[in-house]
Chains A and B, each alone.
Chain A
Amino acid sequence: MAWGEFKDTAAERRLFQRRAVVMLVLVLLMMIGLLARMYQLQIVEHEIYTTLSDKNRVQVQSVPPPRGLVYDRNNLLLAENRPVFSLTLVPERVAGMEATLARLSEILDIAEEDIERFKRRLREPRRPFQEIPLSYDLGEEEIARMAVHRHEFPGVEVRAELVRYYPHSELTAHALGFVGRINREELQRIDPVNYAGTNYIGKSGIERFYEQVLHGTVGYQHVETNARGRILRVLERVNPVPGEDLQLHLDLRLQRKAYQLLEGRRGAIVAIEPETGGILALASVPGFDANKFVTGISVEDYRNLSTDIDKPLFNRALRGQYPPGSTIKPMMAIAALDSGVTNRERRIWDPGYFQLREGGRRFRNWNRSGDGWVDLKYSMARSNDVYFYEVGVEMGVSVMSEYLAHFGFGEDATLDVSGALSGLLPTADWKRAARNEPWYPGDSVNMSIGQGFMLATPLQLATATTLIANRGVWVEPRLLKDIRGDRSVDEFLPSETHEPLILKNPDDWEYVVDTMEEVMHGARGTARSSGQGASYRMAGKTGTAQVFSLAEDEEYDEEQVRERLRDHALFVGFAPSDNPKIAVAVIVENGGGGSSTAAPVARALFDAWLEELPATEQSSVISQVNPEEGR
Chain B
Amino acid sequence: MALGSLLNNPADHNLGRSRGFWSAIHLDPLLLLMLLLLMGGGLFVLYSGADRNIEVVKAQGIRFGVALVVMFVFAQLDPAVFRRWAPWLYAVGMVGLVAVLLVGVGAKGAQRWLAIPGLPRFQPSEIMKLVVPMMAAWYLSRHYLPPRLSRIAVGLIIVLVPMALIVQQPDLGTSLLVGMAGIFVVFFAGMSWKLISAFFALVSVSAPMMWFFVMRDYQKQRVLTLLDPQSDPLGAGWNIIQSKTAIGSGGMDGKGWLQGTQSHLEFLPESHTDFIVAVLAEEFGFIGMLLLMTLYFLIILRCLYIAVTAQDSFSRLLAGALTMTFFIYIFVNVGMVSGLLPVVGVPLPLVSYGGTSGVTLMAAFGVLMSIHTHRRMISA
Contact with B along A4-23 (1 / 0, CB 8 A): 11111100110111011001
Contact of A41 among B248, B313, B324 (CB under 8 A): B248
Q: Quick check: is A188 within 8 A (CB to CB) of the other chain?
A: yes
CB distance from B313 to the nearest CB of A (A): 5
CB distance from A469 to the nearest CB of B (A): 44
Q: Quick check: is B312 within 8 A (CB to CB) of the other chain?
A: yes
Q: Which residues of B contact A619 (CB under 8 A)?
A: none
Q: Which residues of A contact B248 (CB under 8 A)?
A: 41-42, 45-46, 48-50, 52-53
Which one of A4, A8, A16 has the highest number of Cβ atoms from chain B below 10 Å of its Cβ? A16
Q: Quick check: is A30 within 8 A (CB to CB) of the other chain?
A: yes
Contact with A along B334-354 (1 / 0, CB 8 A): 110010100000000000000
Of residues 277 through 304 on chain B, the ones whose CB sits less than 8 Å from some CB of chain A are: 281, 285-286, 289-290, 293, 296-297, 300-301, 304
Contact of B252 among A7, A42, A45, A56 (CB under 8 A): A42
CB-CB under 8 A for A41 and B244, given A4-B142, A15-B145: yes
Check A52–B245 contact: CB distance below 8 A: yes
Check B190–A19 contact: CB distance below 8 A: yes
Check B340–A92 contact: CB distance below 8 A: no
Binds B, one of A32-40, A154-162, A571-579: A32-40
Q: Give A77 to B250 CA distance when docked, in angstroms.
A: 56
Q: Quick check: is B228 within 8 A (CB to CB) of the other chain?
A: no
Q: Which residues of B contact A38 (CB under 8 A)?
A: 247, 281, 286, 289, 338
Q: Which residues of A contact B252 (CB under 8 A)?
A: 42-43, 46
Check B300–A27 contact: CB distance below 8 A: yes
Check B261–A53 contact: CB distance below 8 A: yes
Q: Quick check: is A31 within 8 A (CB to CB) of the other chain?
A: yes
Check B188–A16 contact: CB distance below 8 A: yes
Q: Secondary structure at chain B's binding surface: helix, strand, loop or mixed? A: helix
Q: Quick check: is B308 within 8 A (CB to CB) of the other chain?
A: yes
Q: Which residues of A contact B262 (CB under 8 A)?
A: 53, 56
Q: Which residues of A contact B141 (CB under 8 A)?
A: 3-4
Contact with A along B253-293 (1 / 0, CB 8 A): 00000000110011111000000000001000110011001
Q: Quick check: is A1 within 8 A (CB to CB) of the other chain?
A: yes
Q: Give A222 to B247 CA distance when docked, in angstroms.
A: 22
Binds A, one of B55-63, B115-123, B154-162, B231-239: B231-239
Check B143–A128 contact: CB distance below 8 A: no
Q: Which residues of B contact A31 (CB under 8 A)?
A: 293, 296-297, 330-331
Q: Give A169 to B267 CA distance when docked, in angstroms.
A: 43
Q: Secondary structure at chain A's binding surface: helix, strand, loop or mixed? A: helix
Check A37–B340 contact: CB distance below 8 A: yes
Q: Give A189 to B108 CA distance when docked, in angstroms.
A: 8
Check B249–A53 contact: CB distance below 8 A: yes
Q: Quick check: is B363 within 8 A (CB to CB) of the other chain?
A: no
Q: Which residues of B contact A13 (CB under 8 A)?
A: 316
Q: Which residues of A contact B145 (CB under 8 A)?
A: 7, 12, 15
Q: Which residues of B contact A46 (CB under 8 A)?
A: 248-249, 251-252
CB-CB under 8 A for A50 and B251, given A20-B188, A35-B293, A127-B234: yes
Q: Give A403 to B261 CA distance when docked, in angstroms.
A: 73
Q: Give A43 to B317 CA distance when docked, in angstroms.
A: 40
Q: Give A12 to B316 CA distance when docked, in angstroms.
A: 10
Of residues 36 through 93 on chain A, the ones whose CB sits less than 8 Å from some CB of chain B are: 37-39, 41-43, 45-46, 48-50, 52-53, 56, 60, 62, 92
Check B235–A192 contact: CB distance below 8 A: yes
Q: Quick check: is B320 within 8 A (CB to CB) of the other chain?
A: yes
Q: Quick check: is B144 within 8 A (CB to CB) of the other chain?
A: yes
CB-CB under 8 A for A188 and B233, given A23-B304, A23-B320: no
Q: Quick check: is B187 within 8 A (CB to CB) of the other chain?
A: yes
Q: Quick check: is A28 within 8 A (CB to CB) of the other chain?
A: yes
CB-CB under 8 A for A4 and B144, given A27-B300, A128-B267: yes
Check A35–B290 contact: CB distance below 8 A: yes
Q: Quick check: is B107 within 8 A (CB to CB) of the other chain?
A: yes
Contact of A218 among B188, B234, B245, B286 (CB under 8 A): B234
Q: Quick check: is A234 within 8 A (CB to CB) of the other chain?
A: no
Q: Quick check: is B307 within 8 A (CB to CB) of the other chain?
A: yes
Check B247–A42 contact: CB distance below 8 A: yes
Q: Which residues of B contact A189 (CB under 8 A)?
A: 109
Of residues 158 through 203 on chain A, the ones whose CB sits less than 8 Å from some CB of chain B are: 188-189, 192-193, 196
Q: Give A6 to B144 CA distance when docked, in angstroms.
A: 7
Q: Quick check: is A24 within 8 A (CB to CB) of the other chain?
A: yes
Q: Quick check: is A288 within 8 A (CB to CB) of the other chain?
A: no
CB-CB under 8 A for A34 and B234, given A49-B245, A50-B249: no
CB distance from A139 to the nearest CB of B (A): 32
CB distance from B179 to the nearest CB of A (A): 17
Contact of A220 among B234, B267, B324, B340 (CB under 8 A): B234
Q: Give A128 to B223 CA distance when docked, in angstroms.
A: 23
Closest 8 CB pairs of A and B: A49-B248, A53-B249, A193-B235, A4-B142, A41-B248, A42-B286, A49-B249, A128-B266
Given contacts A15-B145, A129-B267, 10 further A-B contacts (CB under 8 A): A16-B320, A27-B297, A27-B324, A31-B293, A41-B244, A49-B244, A50-B248, A56-B267, A188-B107, A188-B108
A-B contact pairs, 9 of them (CB 8 A): A12-B313, A19-B187, A30-B331, A31-B296, A38-B338, A43-B252, A53-B261, A56-B265, A192-B235
